[in-house]
Amino acid sequence: MRIFYCGDVVARAGREAVLDNLKAIRDEYKIDVMLVNVENAAHGFGVTPGICREFLAKGADVLVLGNHFLNRREIVPFLNECKTIVRPANIPDNNAGRGSVIYELADGRKILVIQVLGRLFMEAVDCPVQAIDKILQTNMLGRQVQAIFVDIHAEATSEKMSLGYYLDGKVSCVAGTHTHVPTADARILPQGTAYITDVGMCGDYNSVLGFETAAPINRLRRHYSDDRLMPANGKGTLYGIYVETDDKTGLAKEIKQVKI
């Protein structure tokens, strides 16, 4: 199975970078499943139903969220309505939406997409390992599903790496998001799971994590936090990963970082 994952889409610059390239990516890499993290797609924080529908109409198959998934209240009904959007799995079950989604290809192959939040330097959430273990009890790699893709939306690199090694051999790929800085460690772990600490963002890199520099500089210089973060809307860059898996085992054959 050929999988492509676009990292955190930040505001208009990120949306344009992804939307303008989805078809070309699908064609060049002969993609079976296109995943997009839309966590920051609406002015840098959260996402709206309209933006989600635009990505799905342009060729995204599954949308992935993160810690800002409830920043836009209008998204709540859409989380129940849309069967191809994934919010964090390690939050209380009474939240809207799903922490995992099984997407079925036209040829019958299935991919399970799971998203969890990290706990180090983040708001309090349930254990990501227990949340994933519970989902995997009824969805084993190479049996019920042909691929399993796990997004860990977290601050700490060590936490992402630890989860990668814990899931090595159990899932197809563990990809880190949230810190918006692409890391250079894309690789296949010893037991066959593709891994990267952070996919990177899709947005204007002439910025501080996709936002104009003035407010972050003020916070740095004066510990002044009242300035509003404004998205940087210069030309966007797309960062993503291409992952190819073996349909029999579900394990990774290749992982490649892509920059457009």
- Look at the chain and report how many structural domains it folds into: 1
Nearest to 3 by CA among 240, 184, 236, 259: 240
Indicate the pTM of the whole model: 0.96
The pLDDT tens digits for 113-166 are: 999 999 999 988 999 999 999 999 999 998 899 999 999 999 999 999 999 999
Q: What was the pLDDT predicted at 70?
A: 86
CATH code assigned at 29: 3.60.21.10
Q: Does the pLDDT value for residue 71 go beyond 90? A: no
In the numeric block, the tokens 């990774």 are attached to 252
Contact 102, 110 (CB under 8 A): yes
Most confident of 50-59, 70-79, 208-217: 50-59
- What range does the domain containing 151 cover? 2-259
* Residues acting as catalytic residues: 68
pLDDT value, residue 227: 78
Say if residue 221 is exposed, middle or buried (CB neighbours under 10 Å; 0-12, 13-18, 19+): exposed
Q: What is the pLDDT of residues 176-223, one digit of tens each?
A: 999 999 999 999 999 999 999 999 999 999 999 999 998 888 888 887
Q: Taking 80 as the threshold, does the pLDDT of residue 15 lie above it?
A: yes
* Terminal Cα distance for the chain, rounded: 22
Q: Provide the edge-to-edge strand list for the sheet that holds 173-177.
A: 100-104, 110-117, 147-153, 173-177, 194-196, 187-188
Residue 69 pLDDT: 84
Q: How do residues 80-115 score in pLDDT, each as one tens digit? A: 999 999 999 999 989 999 999 999 999 999 999 999
Please state the rounded mean pLDDT for residues 166-179.
Answer: 98
Rg (CA), the chain: 17
State the pLDDT at residue 73: 87
pLDDT given at position 56: 98
